[in-house]
Homo-oligomer: A and B are copies of this chain.
Amino acid sequence: MGGDHGPAVIVPAVFDFLRRDAACSAILVGRAEALQPHLAAGAALAARWSVQHASEVVDMHDPVATALRVKKDSSLRVMANLVKEGRADGAVSAGNTGALMAVSRFVLKTLPGIDRPAIATALPTLRGHSYVLDLGANVDCEPEHLLQFGIMGAMLAAALDHEARPSVGLLNIGEEDIKGNEVVKRAGELLNGSGLNFVGNVEGDGIYKGAADVVVCDGFVGNVALKTSEGLAQMIRAFLREEFSRSLFTKLAGLVAMPVLNAFKARVDHRRYNGASLLGLKGVVVKSHGSADAFAFRHALESAAVAARERLPEKIAAHMAAMENLGPAPTLCD
């Protein structure tokens, strides 16, 4: 059980999640001695959770190779095995992203028709929210990968938001078809012929305008867009805080404006968007931000629960099979 805060935050988040969703149960995976001090608060729910001991810890600085080949009893590995064995319908971790992706991919494998799993998250927009992928799993992409991201993103939006035909846009540096590098131009052609509700190119500002329900890009570009946004939001927060603490007058103004500023903050609260989906695997895996608090972690658990209920991996596999005329969608247990 990882992340910046470990069980102290995650265990209460799980109990809170169980209280709100009576149909779910949870397996807490981690070092039993680290989990123990936090379990008493869940006594009333004891029939709906259990502890699965994992003796090793993959930390944020462990190379992927260590997570894969050395620490075979890490919570990441044990958790992935639970999903593979069908004992869990989905997995959520706040640990090392690279290790989570590598271990999940190694244990669960990718779905038929998917070359590379991708990471997707929701971002707030002027019109609600949109999903962006890939956010860093794939730094060099071929057009076919971007097409697969489009399909997986559309299935994600359909599952989480019950959208019948989510719109899909391609992140580019201009709205015209002729813009962009060769990979993106070809990806645009593939998406255009994919049967998805493809709306064409979306520029960076289009993400926050809500130009499409799903915005597709390679992992390098997506990671830069996401981190740049985080940096800008932090700077704006810091500047607002500084301006409101300059003098007695500005502090009083801040007090008066507090309810409005809080309403604003709630609206762009990144904790409500916590929970990035690892798509393209034979199983539901969600990555929580390492710094997530219990409120944020619960949101990641809720995403995983919806994706599992909606059988998201099966739906992605079925769509890939239909597209590639491979016959009926393969099951997840091949």
A contacts, CB < 8 Å to B: 124-126, 136, 139-140, 171, 173, 180-182, 184, 203-209, 217, 219-221, 223-236, 238-240, 243-244, 246, 249-250, 252-254, 256-257, 259-261, 263-264, 267-268
Residue of B nearest to A181 (CB): B139
Across the interface, which residues of B come within 8 angstroms of A264, CB to CB? 239-240, 243
- Separation in Å of the A235 CB from the closest CB of chain B? 4
Q: What are 10 inter-chain pairs, A to B, with CB distance below 8 A?
A: A124-B235, A139-B181, A173-B219, A203-B231, A205-B230, A236-B236, A243-B261, A244-B260, A253-B260, A256-B257
Residue of B nearest to A182 (CB): B140
> Do B220 and A204 touch across chains, with their CB atoms under 8 A apart?
no
- Separation in Å of the A169 CB from the closest CB of chain B? 13
> Do B268 and A126 touch across chains, with their CB atoms under 8 A apart?
no
> Do A227 and B244 touch across chains, with their CB atoms under 8 A apart?
no
- A205-B220 CB under 8 A given contacts A181-B140, A239-B267: no
Across the interface, which residues of B come within 8 angstroms of A223, CB to CB? 173, 203-204
- A224-B204 CB under 8 A given contacts A253-B256, A256-B253, A260-B244: yes
- Separation in Å of the A133 CB from the closest CB of chain B? 14
> Do B231 and A232 touch across chains, with their CB atoms under 8 A apart?
no
Bound-complex Cα distance A39 to B98 (A): 62
Bound-complex Cα distance A208 to B238 (A): 11
> Do B173 and A224 touch across chains, with their CB atoms under 8 A apart?
yes
Bound-complex Cα distance A45 to B124 (A): 50
> Do B207 and A231 touch across chains, with their CB atoms under 8 A apart?
yes
Across the interface, which residues of B come within 8 angstroms of A235, CB to CB? 124-126, 208-209, 268
Partner of A231, one of B204, B226, B233: B204
Most buried by B among A173, A181, A203, A259: A173
> Do B250 and A260 touch across chains, with their CB atoms under 8 A apart?
yes
